[in-house]
Structures are given as structure tokens and as C-alpha cells.
């Protein structure tokens, strides 16, 4: 029994379940669309102003939308107590965690790929800095959101008001990452400063929190 075969089997199972129900993707998509439309009606910025604020708008929209997916991830493990089925098996807890993180990463990335063109159109964006750097920022930023989000969603699983608990736990811990994502995105869009420092910050954040979450997840999973 290999760690990766269990991780991939769990990931494939999660993708199959999401493909059939589309619970998380639909909820995230409509939520993000709403945010974009509300922001467009609330502000009417010039192209220059857009470049300064859209980094923040994009990541706030993705952060809130991700919370919807993160809650769904574990909610389906509670139905019929299937999580207990995993707990009594010899499969490692970290394989489950990693599969969930990878699954959420895929779902949120799909959302970002669908929503990014809308932001470009609605805010009339033209990237003045090195546009390719948006890719590592998006990948590292998304990973930062989902790795902590998956962990805290599992922690809040057995609380009575888990939908409320997740943002309360997740948002404060995500502040350094969100600052990094927003600053890096703004620097790339405006071309005024280098985003290098913030990319390294996001990378460091991801390594530290991925390691911590992997190390602590067994305790979270086995908690009663």
C-alpha cells in the first residue's frame, strides 16, 4: 500500500464526487460572479486605478469563494460518517489531507481560470509588469489558501457552527499570505515595483504551513 496510491485514489474519488454533484464549483462560481458584478457597480475606476485595486478585489473574491469549497470538502465526509471509515483503515492521515488539498487546489484553480478573464474585461486591465509572474503568484497564493483552509475546515468539522468557524480560524492566519498575494499582483499589474520579494514570501509561507499542517493533521483527524 503506497502513500501516493492512496492519495491519488482519494483525489480521484473527490473529483468524481464533485463532478457528479458540482456543489462546490457551482457555489464558488456564482459567489465570485456576484462579487465581480457588485464591485463593478460599486466602483467605476479608470484603467490606472483598476491596476492599483484589482489585486485586492481578485484575492478577496477568491478567498471568500474558496471558503465555500473548503466547507463542502469535509461536509461530504461527514455524511454517513464515511470519515470514520477512513479513520479505522490503515491509510495514513496525511494521504487524506494531501488529497483534499490537491482537490481544493484544482477546484479553486478552475474557478480562477474562469474568473480571471472577467476581471480583465470588467476592469479593462493591461498588465504593465512581467505578466508571466502572475502564474507563480496565482499558484502559490492558491496553495496558501487551500492548505490552511483544508486544515482549519477539518478542525472545525465537529463544531456546531463550522461554516462560521472556518473563516474565523482561516482569515487571521491567512493575512500574511493575502498581503503577499495582493502586493505581488498589484506590483505586476502596475509594473512599478518588483514582485520578487512577495513571491519568495508566499513560497516560504507555503512551505512552513504545508509542513505544519501535514504534521498536525493526524491529531486533528483522530480527535473525537
Partner 1 sequence: MSSSAIAPAGLSAVSLSNVIKQFGRFAALRGVNADFEAGRFHVILGDNGAGKTTLLRALAGLAHPTRGTVSILGKPPHEVCHEIGYMAHPSLLYDEMSGMENLRYVARLYGISGDDRCRWVIGDVGLDPDLSRPVGQYSQGMRQRMSLARAILHDPKILLLDEPFSNVDVHSAREMVSLLKTMRDSGKTIFLVTHQAPLLDGVADEFVWMQAGQIINRTPHFDARTTPAKQP
Under the rule (CB under 8 A), what is the footprint of partner 1? 1, 5-6, 9-10, 13, 16-17, 20-21, 76, 79-82, 84-91, 222, 224
Q: Give CA–CA dist 113/107, Å, rounded.
A: 10
Closest distance of CB 110 from partner 1, Å = 19
How many other CB atoms are there within 10 angstroms of residue 207's CB atom?
11
- When the beta carbons of 22 and 126 are compared against partner 1, the nearer one is 22
Closest CB 70 distance from partner 1, rounded Å: 19
- Whole-angstrom distance, CA of residue 84 vs CA of residue 78: 9
Output the nine-digit C-alpha cell for 48. Answer: 490606472
Report in angstroms how near the CB of residue 21 gets to partner 1 at its nearest. Answer: 6
CB 18 within 8 A of CB 103: yes
214 SS3 class: helix
How many whole angstroms separate alpha carbon 3 and alpha carbon 212? Answer: 18
Min dist CB 95 to partner 1, Å, is 9
Contacts of 17 (CB under 8 A, 6+ apart): 76
Residue 81 CB, nearest approach to partner 1 (Å): 4
Pick 56 or 158: Cβ nearer partner 1: 158
Please identify which residue in the block is written with the cell numbers 502596475.
190
3-class SS of residue 194: coil
Q: Cβ distance 198 to 72 under 8 Å?
A: no
Smallest gap from Cβ 104 to partner 1, in A, equals: 18
Contact indicator for 126, 188 with CB cutoff of 8 Å: no
Amino acid at each position: 500500500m503506497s502513500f501516493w496510491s492512496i492519495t491519488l485514489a482519494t483525489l480521484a474519488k473527490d473529483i468524481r464526487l464533485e463532478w457528479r454533484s458540482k456543489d462546490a464549483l457551482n457555489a464558488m462560481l456564482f459567489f465570485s460572479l456576484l462579487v465581480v458584478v457588485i464591485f463593478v457597480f460599486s466602483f467605476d475606476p479608470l484603467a490606472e486605478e483598476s491596476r492599483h485595486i484589482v489585486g485586492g478585489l481578485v484575492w478577496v473574491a477568491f478567498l471568500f469563494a474558496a471558503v465555500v469549497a473548503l466547507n463542502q470538502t469535509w461536509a461530504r465526509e461527514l455524511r454517513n460518517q464515511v470519515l470514520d471509515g477512513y479513520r479505522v483503515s490503515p491509510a495514513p492521515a496525511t494521504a487524506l489531507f494531501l488529497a483534499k488539498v490537491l482537490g481544493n487546489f484544482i477546484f479553486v484553480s478552475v474557478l480562477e481560470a474562469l474568473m480571471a478573464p472577467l476581471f480583465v474585461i470588467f476592469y479593462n486591465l493591461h498588465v504593465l509588469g512581467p505578466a508571466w509572474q502572475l502564474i507563480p503568484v496565482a499558484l502559490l497564493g492558491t496553495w496558501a489558501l487551500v492548505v490552511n483552509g483544508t486544515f482549519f475546515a477539518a478542525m472545525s468539522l465537529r463544531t456546531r457552527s463550522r461554516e462560521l468557524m472556518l473563516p474565523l480560524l482561516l482569515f487571521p492566519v491567512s493575512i500574511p499570505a493575502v498581503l503577499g498575494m495582493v502586493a505581488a499582483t498589484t506590483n505586476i499589474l502596475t509594473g512599478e515595483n518588483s514582485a520578487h520579494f512577495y513571491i519568495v514570501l508566499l513560497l516560504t509561507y507555503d512551505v512552513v504551513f504545508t509542513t505544519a499542517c501535514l504534521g498536525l493533521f493526524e491529531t486533528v483527524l483522530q480527535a473525537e
